[in-house]
Amino acid sequence: MKVNGLNKWINEWYEQHEEELNEYMHDVWAHPELGLFTKHAAEASYAFATTHGFPDAIISRAGEGVKTNTENPNAVIAEYGSGKPVIGIVGELDALPGLGNGDVPGKAPIAGPGHGCGHNLIAGAAMGAACALRYAMEKEGIKGTLRLVEAPGEEVGRGKALLAKDGVFSDMDLAIMWHPGPNEFSAEPQPGLCILAGSFEFRGKSAHAAGAPWAGRSALDAVQLMNMGCEFLREHVTKDCLLHYQITNGGGAPNIVPDYASVKYFCRAANNEHVKDLYERVVKCGEGAAHMTDTEFEPKLIFIIPYFYQNEPLYKYLHDISMEIPDVEYTEEDYEFARKLIEDYTGAATDKSNEELLPASKKTYEGMQERSTCTDAADMSYFCPTAHIHGGGSAAGSPGHHWTITACSGSPIGQKAAVRAGKVLAEGAFEAFGNQALIDECWAFQKTLNIPSYDEVYSIEIKDE
């Protein structure tokens, strides 16, 4: 029996616990944390999971094994059931630097990080889905293993790679998750770009910049020459390649020739081969800069986001599930919030209708879409069929990684989208437990992708910053 497109027990769980779920999402939003340092979010996730059906949940630190770590945790792994299939529902916990903002319809900066990518909502969608599904599995005696994963460090490309090292994805049959966005909800695949990210350090000799500059060897000059070389490099790479850089240390004072300087690069491309070539050429720019300035150069590869192998049968299946579940019902207050937010951001009145400001679900399935961003959900696709559905939770016209996303992520707009997305994940996983033909179809497609071994992709040494 279904209610609102959901198994009746999944529907019942949401009816009883949606308010608590919203409080959890807002708690994570109100305590934004960066990268692998998501202690509060992990503790909040652990508390919610253990309260709602996962008494044996493990609060851990990614990369150190699936074992309890209460001193410095950043992740939560919880299971229900046993045996096959193993279906993973995955969330994320980390925020972004400098994007703190109030949950109000306008720019209201809060010093420090903020959930400008809506990871508190991803955490909530996964948490609600897993808790509701566990409730339904128990009520109906469903066989198989449900695994909830709340992961750190997506924005630094390390969280799921470290969890993969812990074996969290190795035995999964399916892995599913959702990401919010300023567009309609869609369960169509969006291939992301690959990343090789590097931190590049130069060491020279300090000297008085006026008294004896000839005695110095400027590490900052080396950084600037490396950046110049990379600017010229842009003309001579394939069109899918992108380069972004940030000077992370430029010296101590203008009147001292800096003996240390550093720069961080994100190299992006459409596939593993192109991104590796781009990274190697960026390293050569650094080596050349070091020769020109008589400085020492140390490149460090700090993270990889590999090619994401999208499993189209799994996406199509989740799309069909999503069409049975009612769209989010926004209120006039929600529409007014979105309108004021976009008008504050753009500085001009918007002529968008309510439905354009907060679009509903995409009703047609058109297959593979285009995308230029990245996610470490790609790491999971080397172990099992993976789907990363997306959309909803912020006002249309909001840029990604922006304070407008932070504002929506702390508001009912974001929470309502996360609840609906969680229902799609919960119902999709519930029905998949009893559908071996679907799992077989997804794995058959997976085998056509000729996915390289995960160890091969990570054969380059990664050094922590």
Instruction: Please tell me whether residues 187 and 322 are part of one structural domain.
Output: yes
Domain end among 306, 325, 351: 306
Concatenating the DSSP letter of every residue in 152-208 gives --TTTT-HHHHHHHTTSSTT-SEEEEEEEEEEEEE-S--PPPEEEEEEEEEE-B-EE
Kindly state whether residue 462 falls inside one of the protein's structural domains. no
Q: Please name which of 116, 100, 108, 54 lies closest in space to residue 81, comparing C-alpha atoms.
A: 54
In a shared domain, residues 21 and 170:
yes
Q: Is the pLDDT of residue 372 over 70?
A: no
- Mean pLDDT computed over 72-76: 98
Q: What is the reported pTM?
A: 0.95
pLDDT bucket at 1, cuts 50 / 70 / 90: confident
Please tell me whether residues 175 and 64 are part of one structural domain.
Answer: yes
Q: Which amino acid is at 47?
A: A
Any idea which residue has 């069409």 for tokens? Answer: 323
Residue 110 sits in which domain range?
2-192+308-456
What is the share, in percent, of the chain residues with pLDDT greater than 70?
99
Domains contained in the chain, number: 2
> Is residue 218 located within the same domain as residue 356?
no
pLDDT of 370 > 70? The answer is yes
Length of the chain counted residue by residue = 465
pLDDT digits (tens, 9 = 90+) for 16-52: 999 999 999 999 999 999 999 999 999 999 999 999 9
349-373 average pLDDT score: 90
**Does residue 461 lie within any of the structural domains?**
no
- pLDDT of 460 reads 81
Average pLDDT rounded to a whole number, residues 117-122: 98
Report yes or no on 465 lying in a domain.
no
Residue 230 has pLDDT above 70, yes or no: yes
Question: 59-88 as b/e, with b when 16 or more CB fall inside 10 Å?
Answer: bbbbbeebeebeeebbbbbbbbbeeebbbb
Q: What is the CATH number of the domain that holds 394?
A: 3.40.630.10
The pLDDT assigned to 367 comes to 85
Choosing from 284, 306, 328, the residue where a domain stops is 306
pLDDT band of 192, cuts 50, 70, 90: confident
Residues 243 and 178 in one domain: no
Torsion, Cα 15 87 304 31, to 10 degrees, reads 20
Residues 238 and 346 grouped into a single domain? no
**Taking 70 as the threshold, does the pLDDT of residue 239 lie above it?**
yes
Specify whether 246 is located in the same domain as 349: no
Q: Is the pLDDT of residue 290 over 90?
A: yes
Does residue 432 lie within any of the structural domains? yes
The answer as to whether 326 is a domain residue is yes
Calculate what percentage of the chain has a pLDDT beyond 90.
Answer: 95
Of the three residues 306, 327, 347, the one that is the final residue of a domain is 306
Of the candidates 151, 185, 200, the one whose C-alpha atom is nearest the C-alpha of residue 375 is 151
Terminal alpha carbon distance of the chain = 52
Q: Do 282 and 339 fall into the same domain?
A: no
Q: Helix (H, G, I), strand (E, B), or coil: what is residue 151?
A: strand
Q: Tell whether 302 and 312 lie within a shared domain.
A: no
Same domain, 15 and 109: yes
> Average model confidence (pLDDT) for the chain?
96
How many whole angstroms separate alpha carbon 285 and alpha carbon 304? 20
**What values do phi and psi take at 90, rounded to 5?**
-120, 135
Instruction: Give yes or no: residues 298 and 351 share one domain.
Output: no
Are 170 and 281 found together in one domain?
no
Nearest to 407 by CA among 419, 396, 395, 416: 395
